[in-house]
Amino acid sequence: MSSVDEEDIHVPKDHPRAESIRIRERLIEGFKEGFVVVAGLIAHGRGEAFDYILGEKTHKFAKIAEEAAVAALLLAINPVISVNGNTAALVPHEIVQLSKLLNAKLEINLFYRTKEREEAIKKVLEKAGAEKVLGVGDSASATIPELSHSRRKVDPEGVFIADCVMVPLEDGDRTIALRKLGKQVIAIDLNPLSRTAQEASITIVNNITRAIPEMIQITQNIIKLSANAG
Ligand code: PTJ
């Protein structure tokens, strides 16, 4: 489920690329609603190309990384999931569900930060069930040293004090800066050669539209196992 009503998207069901087109349409809708940036559409095209080459499926290496990421987030004292425009467009319900299961905070962090986009993404997440969204307006009052762009602004209750941060679909600078601060960084990035993918502590080379639902499943399995063991 996305923030966009699937009924509004007229993709013929029998189209051989129907799923890919539907996913693309979510970005377009997010763009029309003002919370996805033009560069987000370009980034999606790059992701699509890698996904196509990788066979549009979850590889074993991705599944292992997803399991490691869930374990790291469950073991963290202050886990945070960072959300940008593309993530909000592609997996709003799933990212909220995962944050609740993992007891991880949700923080908006944008490369192209504007008040309007922050508010729009906050609304998308709240509509998807989020109770608290960090990083909006004046609450992003702390700063990550060494970063000159808007991603340096973080929430003192969130990324600033986090020991483990998941950063889906990011550019590399912040990952490097967060690692220098001693934080564990989990990347979701279809480009295994990107600086984010190369610099993160754990890199999930998979489409976020598959990775997050799979991480939900992995978390639910772990919770069930520990309930049975306890
Ligand atoms: O919403 P903002 O202002 O924070 O801006 C977001 C973008 C995505 C524009 C910004 O973070 C950016 O410019 O990112 P990059 O540097 O283009 O990196 C995005 C990475 O995500 C690229 O390596 C893409 O291959 C990858 N990617 C794109 N779509 C997906 C993806 N990885 C996983 N799943 C996808 N669906």
Per-residue pLDDT of 192-220, as tens digits, reads 999 999 999 999 999 999 999 999 999 99
Mean pLDDT, the chain, rounded, equals 92
Confidence of residue 1 (pLDDT cuts 50, 70, 90): very low
Q: What is the DSSP letter of 84?
A: -
User: Given ligand 1 and candidates 86, 107, 150, which is best to mutate, with the most ligand atoms within 8 Å of its CB?
Assistant: 86
**Angle at 176 (CA atoms; ends 172, 179), nearest 5 degrees:** 140
Is a pLDDT exceeding 70 seen at residue 9?
no
Mean pLDDT across 15-35 = 90
User: Given ligand 1 and candidates 20, 91, 169, 214, which is best to mutate, with the most ligand atoms within 8 Å of its CB?
Assistant: 169
Please enumerate in sequence order all residues whose Cβ is within 8 A of that of 108, keeping only pairs 6 or more positions apart, or say none.
82, 83, 84, 118, 121, 122, 125, 133, 134, 135, 136, 140
Q: Are 172 and 152 in contact (CB under 8 A)?
A: no
Copy the structure tokens of residue 113.
Answer: 């930060």
Pocket-forming residues, ligand 1, beta carbon under 6 Å: 37, 39-40, 43-44, 46-47, 50, 84-86, 90, 110-112, 169-171, 188-191, 194, 207-209
Mean pLDDT across 96-112 = 97
* 171 C-alpha to ligand 1 centroid (Å): 7
* 61 C-alpha to ligand 1 centroid (Å): 20
- The answer to whether the pTM exceeds 0.85 is yes
Identify the residue with better confidence: 14 or 129: 129
Mean pLDDT across 93-107 = 98
Residue 208 CA: which ligand 1 atom is closest?
34
Residue minimizing CA distance to atom 28 of ligand 1: 47
